Amino acid sequence: MTKSGAILALLLPALSAICIAGALSAHAQQPTIKRTDLVTADQSGTDSGYLWVADIAPGGATGRHTHPTPRFVYVLEGSVVLEVDGKPAHTFMAGEGFAEAPGEVHNFRNASTTASAKALGFQVAPKGTPLQTSAQ
């Protein structure tokens, strides 16, 4: 084996590993849910209303979290699964809506691993309050 052949034999596996790791890292950094705020409006001296569209990538999920106030969701496209701790998971199709109760730990995810989903969300909360908080 020539010197350049030996160097190539050593470098090729290392370069392949770097390329694979970079591709996996780039894929992992893709947002699974893109939220587009449509309207924010003062509802009173202390509360604001929020309306948004969520584009949910195939297999995308929010992770377990809670809300301080009720959140209302209407599925525009595809289907989504609401997984509330201690309750059976429930799938909602396009044209269906549901409410997420305040303080209830849950995960919201796209039911499909191959097709995107889209949902409309609405929530009223005290000004300055995070609309959701991650759960352990």
Residue ranges per structural domain of the chain: 1-30, 33-127
Q: Does domain 33-127 have CATH number 2.60.40.1180?
A: no
- pLDDT-based confidence at residue 30 (cuts at 50, 70, 90): low
pLDDT digits (tens, 9 = 90+) for 75-89: 999 999 999 999 999
Inform me whether the pLDDT recorded for 127 exceeds 50: yes
Q: With 0-12 CB in 10 A as exposed, 13-18 as middle and 19+ as buried, what is 92?
A: buried
- Between 19-28, 31-40, 96-105, the lowest mean confidence (pLDDT) is in 19-28
Please tell me the pTM assigned to this model. 0.76
- pLDDT-based confidence at residue 45 (cuts at 50, 70, 90): confident
Inform me whether the pLDDT recorded for 21 exceeds 80: no
Q: How far apart are CA 48 and CA 60, in angstroms?
A: 28
Averaged pLDDT for residues 45-52 = 94
Q: How far apart are CA 7 and CA 4, in angstroms?
A: 5
Averaged pLDDT for residues 30-58 = 91
